[in-house]
Amino acid sequence: MTSPRRPGDSLTQITFPSRVRRRTTLRVALLVSDTVMLFVGSQVASLVRFGQLRHIAAFPELGPSATFLRVSLVIVALGLAAMWFEGLYDLDRVFWGTGEYSRVAKALIMGIVGLILFEYAAKLPGLSRGWTLLALFFGIAFVCLGRAGVRYGLVLARRRGRMLRPTLVVGFNQEAEAIIRALGKNTSSGLVPVGCLASSRSDQLALNHCGDVPCLGYAGEIRDVLDRGFFDTVLIVSTAFDHDILARIITDLRGRDLDIQLSSGLLDVTTSRVLIREVSGVPLITIRGVSFTPMRRLVKRTFDLVLGGLIVLVGMPLWLLVTLAIRLDSPGPIFYRQLRIGRGGKPFGMFKFRSMRADAEAVRDQLAQDNQATGPLFKIKDDPRVTRVGRWMRKFSIDEFPQLINVLRGEMSLVGPRPPLPNETQEYSDYHWRRMEVLPGMTGLWQVSGRSSLTFDEMIRLDLLYIENWSVGFDLGLMLRTVPAVLFARGAY
């Protein structure tokens, strides 16, 4: 067994921003965004309610200078104070999920309530109720929009190698390997594994690497490792240690200025299903159950019919243009109907715009040696069967639009696992068949997470993650994420 590699001086040369600089930059960005958006929201409320910005407020004793423009400054100050007390500038509680936006609404509502109570206690003439409600509505909307912009800017910065957080992964097992691989593929979280510490169990790791990052020693040496290298975050893999060792590691980190993340071991469960509560002094994790009950299926079906029908109506002009392009480009039918496997193993004909030569299926076996996909999938990056128009359609997934017919017929859903070919399912295990418990979809979790660049096992895991955590909000979120994935053709061929 090789000896663990010690952290050297090179770790301190990594061009990561300092922890103080990173956190200060984010707080300032949030404060500036919230200030501007609160002020803009109150001004829009004045324009909607009064048609002007300098309308006189209900304080005649203060003279003509008491306009809603000046009242807006009070609204901004109250809003910022309320959001501060709600913890919306605590970086450990923002940028994680969409719960931040509901807390923005809660804080601003409490701010407006505080203003109304102050007016009543001071026996001041009340502000226009219409303006107050509009200022609250636009304030919430604009602040959420601004914070979404800050999030997006942060994601772009991280993709360009800025605002990243050097992360030490403590513990190494199958879960740690999956975490390191996931963080390495997606830098939007900002966590960049730059090293790991192994447990003392010799059968878990040949101590020279942790997946794609170097092993810097054992978990028991964590204080020495942190002293010799620059780390912003420590990510502890809980399943790699016994309880007493885990508690000792956390104790060793007390008093250090860094973020401590503890994995839950629940890689296939989203946080929306996880609740943490204390029972008899013991913190317990509760996982809320999800099942496709008849009511949930009805809700999903209604969602598909309403939104699918709307997309068909709006996209009809594009359909006509694509139809003409296919007809002019190559001989053959406009639509291609391919046999696919649906929910419960039931076969159906899936519609597509034809993107290949008419004899594509006949020559597929001749290209088997060029297959670039894993498992039972068949994918070729530069498939010679694809037509000129077809290559353009496939790049932006336009060939998938006719599947809306399958959605309206109840054979598919807007969101769900992609329907496999019959020959692909011949290699399915019982575990793989779990992805067919729901209607297949036009888009899904793995389509927005890498599309053709993912392995078969990664696709299966993401499909099962979707099934276990389904909600209407999840579907809407995936559809919104599909738009940039399609426009920028990420992972498509």
Residue 231 · residue 196 · CB < 8 Å: no
105 falls within a domain? yes
Short-list 102, 103, 108, 100, CA closest to 136: 108
CATH number for the domain spanning 226: value is 3.40.50.720
Tell whether 288 is covered by a domain: no
Residue % of the chain over a pLDDT of 90: 19
CB < 8 Å & 24+ apart, contacts of 302-310: 303/414, 303/472, 303/475, 304/407, 304/408, 304/413, 304/414, 305/408, 307/414, 308/404, 308/407, 308/408, 308/414, 309/408
298 plus 197 within the same structural domain = no
- The pLDDT tens digits for 26-38 are 999 999 999 999 9
Residues 403 and 448 in one domain: yes
- Is the residue at 14 inside a domain? no
Same domain, 155 and 184: no
Residue ending a domain, among 248, 265, 282, is 265
In a domain, 323, yes or no: yes
Which stretch of DSSP H or E encloses residue 309? helix 294-329
Residues 328 and 226 in one domain: no
DSSP 217-282: EEGGGHHHHHHHS--SEEEE-GGGS-HHHHHHHHHHTTT-SSEEEE--S-TTS-GGGEEEEEETTE
Whether residue 6 is contained in a domain is answered as no
Q: Encode pLDDT of 139-157 as tens digits.
A: 999 999 999 899 889 988 8
197: which DSSP letter?
A: E
Task: Tell me: do 398 and 479 sit in the same domain.
Answer: yes
Answer whether residue 277 is part of any domain.
no
Q: What is the mean pLDDT of residues 46-52?
A: 79
Any domain includes 283: no
The residue type of 392 is W
477, 448 Cβ separation under 8 angstroms: no
Cα separation of 313 and 49, whole Å?
A: 35
Same domain? 261 vs 146? no
Residue 286 is classified by DSSP as E
Number of domains the chain is built from: 3
Both 348 and 406 in one domain: the answer is yes
Q: Is the same domain home to 31 and 129?
A: yes
**In whole numbers, what is the pLDDT of the chain averaged over residues?**
79
User: Within this chain, do residues 401 and 357 fall inside the same structural domain, yes or no?
Assistant: yes
Instruction: Assess whether 454 and 386 both reside in one domain.
Output: yes
**pTM recorded for the entire structure:** 0.59
Domain limits for position 203: 164-265
**Domain assignment of residue 272, yes or no:** no
Asked if 232 and 21 touch (Cβ cutoff 8 Å), the reply is no
User: Tokens at residue 41, please?
Assistant: 């929201």
Angstrom distance (rounded) from CA 138 to CA 413:
34
Query: Please, are residues 160 and 95 in contact by the beta-carbon 8 Å criterion?
Result: no
**pLDDT at position 94:** 75
173 and 71, same structural domain? no
Residues 445, 480 within the same domain: yes
CA-derived radius of gyration, the chain: 28
Last residue of a domain, one of 246, 265, 284: 265
* 211-256 pLDDT, tens digit each: 678 888 888 888 888 988 888 889 988 888 888 888 888 888 888 8
